Amino acid sequence: MNSYDFNSQVAAITGGCNGIGAAIADRLAASGAKTAIWDMDISAPEERVTAIDCDNLFLTQTDVSDLASVEAAQAATEEKFGKVDVLVNCAGIAGPTSVLADYPADAWRKVQDVNTNGTFHTCRTVIPGMIARNYGRIVNVASVAGKEGNPNASAYSTSKAAVIAMTKSLGKELAGYDIAVNCITPAAAKTRIFDQVSEDFVEFMLSKIPRGRFVTVEEIANMVSWIASAENSFTTGAVFDLSGGRATY
């Protein structure tokens, strides 16, 4: 396993109690980072999270769709660890699977609130401190659905396309600082988000992946650990593919 130096750095990971976020928290903590997890539900984190040295772990209940909640999480993290060097936006929901003409309007708004607005809220909150210190790494978790659009998942696809565009825009805005803003576009991974969609939709997603399997959360964490590292000092506003050969661009 490649190792990157996160000693003396603080990483904030949204949705970090389970799934992709938990794997990233585990990987960054193993590389020396103090790890703050901002999650809506902190009652039952995965074992890999609870195994992190308690002196280097901070959990705070956070609703990323609420700017005030995110600002409170930032303040609490700074009180605990002093700063935020790395932000990884993993919090997200799938929403129901439905054709657009029948898509519930309240569910559409909820998906945008969590996936798109949540990413906006966290970036908006951490950026001033990163600018003041002239250092930061932001990694947004988008999806191959944001590139290609999944049928019967218009809300999710739209939200992840917005995250890609936001990443590109913000990367350009902050290019004059030692701040890198990038995103990843993974294919589906077997996490709790599968509970939000039908079995037929899961099979559809698998059928689209040339590798013939889902990406693992550890594979995602491996890529994120480099993107979030100080070694990634040039690339910004980029989209890193983790689609198993599915993406066509």
Catalytic annotation, residues: 156
Report the distance separating Cα 156 and Cα 143, nearest Å.
9
Sign for the CA dihedral angle at 24, 26, 32, 34 comes to positive
Residues 239/184, Cβ–Cβ less than 8 Å: yes
The amino acid at 240: F
**Tokens 């997200």 label which residue?**
92
Longest dimension (CA), the chain: 50
Sign for the CA dihedral angle at 24, 231, 176, 131 comes to positive
Question: How crowded is the C-beta side of 82, counted as CA atoms within 13 Å?
Answer: 7
- Going by the DSSP 8-state scheme, the letter that residue 81 receives in this structure is H
Report the distance separating Cα 127 and Cα 137, nearest Å.
10
3-class secondary-structure state, position 21: helix
Report the distance separating Cα 157 and Cα 16, nearest Å.
22
Residues 66/39, Cβ–Cβ less than 8 Å: no
Residues 64/118, Cβ–Cβ less than 8 Å: yes
